[in-house]
Structure 1
Amino acid sequence: ESLKQYLIEECYEVIDAVDCGDPEKHKEELGDLLLHIVLQAQIRNENGYFTFEDVAKTITDKLVRRHPHVFSGVSVSGTHEVLQNWEKLKKEERKKEEQSVLSGIPRHLPALQKAERVQSRAARVGFDWKCAEDVLSKITEEVEELRRAISEGNEKAIKHEIGDLLFAIVNFARHLGIHSEEALQETVSRFSRRFQTMENLARESGYELQECTLEQLEDLWQKAKQLVE
């Protein structure tokens, strides 16, 4: 329990290393993450539950079991059938009729990533929009519903509609093959770099951003956009 937060931090550090494009840093962070996995397995081992070798065997067995088209000669027509078989095999393994297609999605995933995972799971059983254009129409519909909630001053409805709008945008991105979490992370990073450039430009001129008028801020922003891609 006490190691959970550190494990999460190590996962994000691995992602940062990937984004930096530094193989040596990536190798180092993967090692740090592996250390946490080994450490947790060792703690369980000392309490008589399982060993690190058991962990490795479990994932190996699972991969073999859930990929009969690779290891058992089962014929499939394409990726869609592979995913359908995967879900079918998982359900059989659980041996519980009440298990949902959505079972097993981590509760603490970032919201955008979790939304995409939920949508992808639903799509595997055929519950999905036919094309991205249909989802775009849904986004337009959600915007109108949000406008209506705002005009009515209904805070609960506004929150509800903003959630629906975000969910629809994630769905649209998914249909375009774009991960919303990554797209938003890139936008936040780009905004941060440009904002910091604004701060530097202002200081070079002898003042701070909070001293600027809205027009001056807009001028600095446009300059920052030209300097930072």
Structure 2
Amino acid sequence: MTGIERLHEIMTRLRNPETGCPWDREQTLESLKPCVLEECYELLAAMDRPEDKANHIEELGDVLLQVMFQSVMAEQEGRFSFDDVANAIADKLVRRHPHVFGNVDAKDTATVLRNWEQIKQSEHRKEARHSALDGVPAALPGLIKAQRTQEKAARVGFDWKDAKGPLAKIKEELGELEAEIAARPSDRPCDSDRVKEELGDLLFSATNLARHLKVDAESALAGTTEKFARRFRAVEAGAKAEGRNLKDMTLAEMDALWDKAKRGQMSPA
């Protein structure tokens, strides 16, 4: 019995209406959505640490479980099987690699990607898509969704000529946000809807700049967040070394520790 066959048998037993696990039997596509998202993010974290082989295997397995879980659910409902899923992606790979499985000549990555996009467009024409932006998953995180949407618009020529365009747009959007904030009396809160809109415009423009600079916006923000967390933990460690609590320190005192962390003079505990 192969690993896939064993996993399929186990999942089928867990979903057995009479003898299976109560939790597994109760799951629906809706209830599994958070699990799918969480497992994908945990796999992304494991991919950042490939030297931890055991963890990488575990997280790949957890994602595979989600595929098998939904496939077994579909089998029970008479919709499709795991084999249907595997064959569908196998067929797609063969179809979109005519330079390997057919007679198309493609000696470089650029040609491969061009062919891939043409084949993809041909497939989508059969699905009666009406917009160049169709096909961007609605549930994508904001930065990824923005970048994918911009990429699709760019494919039909709706794009800045170079990075100077989105850079100028960032300055414009920042000015509009500053004006919105400055327009309110100091004793009254901002119009949250207007501020949200202007912040969204600014983030969208920053994502457009990232795309022009060949930078993945989501990865860039994730990296900066990790850097902040690393330095903040160093600040916490520095305060603890002084026998103090951050809540009892002034902002100036915390800033002094932050500067040390930035210079690499302190490390997280």
* TM-score > 0.5 by shorter chain: yes
Q: Which is greater in Rg?
A: 2
User: Which residue of the partner structure matches residue 207 of structure 1?
Assistant: 244
Task: Quote how far apart the aligned CAs of 1:79 are.
Answer: 5.9
Identify which of 67, 82, 86 aligns with 1:52: 82
User: Which residue of the partner structure matches residue 91 of structure 1?
Assistant: 124
Task: Quote how far apart the aligned CAs of 1:87 are.
Answer: 4.6
Q: Aligned pair 1:175/2:212, yes or no? A: yes
SS of the equivalent of 1:3 reads: helix
SS of the equivalent of 2:48 reads: helix
Q: Aligned pair 1:218/2:249, yes or no? A: no
SS of the equivalent of 1:126 reads: coil
Q: Aligned pair 1:32/2:62, yes or no? A: yes
User: Which residue of the partner structure matches residue 11 of structure 1?
Assistant: 40
User: Which residue of the partner structure matches residue 111 of structure 1?
Assistant: 142
8 Å CA contact 2:232–2:258 kept in 1: the answer is yes
How is 1:183-194 mapped onto 2 (pairs within 5 angstroms)? Answer: 183-194=220-231
Which 4+ runs in 1 deviate beyond 6 A? none
In the superposition, the TM-score normalised over structure 1's length comes to 0.89
Gaps of 5+ in 2: 1-28, 185-189
8 Å CA contact 2:39–2:63 kept in 1: the answer is yes
8 Å CA contact 1:209–1:217 kept in 2: the answer is yes
Change (3 A) 1:150 1:79: farther
Larger fraction in helix: 1
In 1: Cα distance, 2:43 partner to 2:155 partner: 29
SS of the equivalent of 2:137 reads: coil
Deviations 1:12-70 (A, max 9, x none): 11111011232332122111211221121111012111111111111122233344455
Identify which of 181, 187, 198 aligns with 1:150: 181
Change (3 A) 1:165 1:71: same
In 2: Cα distance, 1:114 partner to 1:224 partner: 34
8 Å CA contact 2:96–2:116 kept in 1: the answer is no
In 2: Cα distance, 1:129 partner to 1:56 partner: 40
SS of the equivalent of 2:202 reads: helix
Match for 1:185: what amino acid?
Answer: A
User: Which residue of the partner structure matches residue 20 of structure 1?
Assistant: 49
Task: Quote how far apart the aligned CAs of 1:82 are.
Answer: 3.1
Number of aligned residues? 227
Match for 1:114: what amino acid?
Answer: K
Match for 2:151: what amino acid?
Answer: S
Change (3 A) 1:70 1:103: farther
Task: Quote how far apart the aligned CAs of 1:205 are.
Answer: 0.8
Match for 1:11: what amino acid?
Answer: C
In 1: Cα distance, 2:124 partner to 2:36 partner: 28
In 2: Cα distance, 1:137 partner to 1:75 partner: 41
User: Which residue of the partner structure matches residue 126 of structure 1?
Assistant: 157
Gaps of 5+ in 1: none
